Amino acid sequence: MPRKTSSVPAPQYLKVKNHLRERIASGHWVAGDLLPSEAELVQLFEVSRMTVNRALRELSQEGLVERLQGVGTFVAQLHRISSTLNVRDVHDEILQRGHQHQVKVHSLATLKADGPQAADFDLATGAKLFHSVIVHFENGVAIQCEDRLVNPACAPAYLDLDFAQTTPTNYLLEVAPLSEARYTIESLLPSALEAKLLGISKQDPCLVVKRRTFSRGQTVTTVRLTHPGSLYVLEGSFQA
């Protein structure tokens, strides 16, 4: 006679934690939103206050929420959380070095998404996307070519921006709070256009960061950030 097997039920705190995590990931709660109180979660899940406290504590340790004593628990401003790589504004990076930031807009237009572009945004082929190519300068030297696609549903005013006053990164983080970002980093040769805009040879190696960011379950933007390898250092830190 075969032996009966039994699965071990998930700990109660994980049920609370996973529920809150899924609600944040789906955009039900966005950055800055106040989550239900501990007392409300105790009643909703019929668990102890200690169980709820552990779920919130672990979410706080993972950087998904911020807990303010006597006030409540809020969804964290995810783009400001320390991680292996932060979604940082090149304008802020340059100012932190005590240097001057300038921009030159090479192109700003609407295009119809091809197959791969549409797939990145979970849209139909031919759907409208905003497209910008912007060069960032540090003390007059071109250090980044930013080739970006933007979902109009997430940032309808994108084409009307004055990029001398705000950067695409800063604007998009404001109108579509970040819930997830995916990166690839490669050493590549620049395209002919990138080489021209950056004032380098087509044989000069570049550091290329490709990033796709999400908000409320939607792809907000995809961007290719190309930096002359001789002028750019990717910095970061971690803490045990």
**What's the first-to-final CA gap in the chain, in angstroms?**
51
Compute CA distances 120 → 22, 43, 179, 214, 221, whole Å: 21, 40, 16, 11, 9
Please give the Cα distance from 88 to 201 (Å, whole number): 27
Q: At what angle do helices 12-25 and 49-61 cross, to 10 degrees?
A: 50
Is residue 36 within 8 A of residue 28, CB to CB? The reply is no
Taking domain 90-228, whether its CATH number is 3.30.70.260 is answered by: no
CA atoms within 13 A on the CB side of 231: 20
Q: Angle 49-61/38-45 helices, nearest 10 degrees?
A: 120
**CA of residue 220 relative to chain centroid, distance:** 9
Every domain range in the chain assigned CATH 1.10.10.10: 12-76
pLDDT in tens, the chain (240 residues): 444 444 456 688 888 998 998 888 777 888 788 999 999 999 999 999 999 999 998 888 777 888 888 889 998 865 443 333 455 667 777 777 788 889 999 999 999 999 999 999 999 999 999 999 999 998 899 999 999 999 999 999 999 999 988 889 889 988 888 878 888 888 899 999 999 999 999 999 999 999 999 987 889 999 999 999 876 665 544 443
Using CA atoms, how far residue 166 sits from 157, 206, 231, in Å, is 13, 25, 23
Would you say domain 12-76 falls under CATH 3.40.50.10330?
no
Counting Cβ atoms within 10 Å, is residue 135 exposed (0-12), middle (13-18) or buried (19+)? buried
Looking at the DSSP assignment, which residues form a beta bridge with residue 184? 210
CATH 3.40.1410.10 placement within the chain: 90-228
